[in-house]
Amino acid sequence: MNATERKTTKTVIAEHPDFARLIRAVVATVGPDYLADIAQYGAAAGFSGITYCTDTVAFFRRHRKQIVALVESEADSFGVPAIEMVRGFRCLSNPPESAIARCLYGGRITDDDDITLVANALAWFACETVAYWHGA
């Protein structure tokens, strides 16, 4: 699919209504013009609003419920536990299970390095997934 064939946000929301709030948040944070680049290069390549941990952790905190639901949905579709799927994210280097569990299952998000890295990775995961859904 090329840039002229990208789906509109309205179409993406119609296809994934359970994640409407998250979809709108990602598009508002990074801008629709960057979705193709995020889908191609990954969120770690550096995009406004999702580059620095202060931004990504804040994004994760604001949208935690929907991000966790997205992780659980994707993990279920792959037939793996959510913690195992997150542990396999390339941007994480063997994170402690306790940090992943805290982010996924409601523990307090502190400034602990491991928790910050997991929250960052989960924010990037959400952005990349939404970018992919746009067909970028």
Radius of gyration of the chain (CA): 14
Cα–Cα distance for residue pair 136/128, rounded to 1 Å:
10
pTM: 0.91
The pLDDT tens digits for 40-90 are 999 999 898 999 989 999 999 999 999 999 999 999 999 999 999 999 998
Query: Is 39 within 8 Å of 132 (Cβ atoms)?
Result: yes
Pair 65, 122: CB distance under 8 Å = no
Tokens encoding 6 = 């990208």
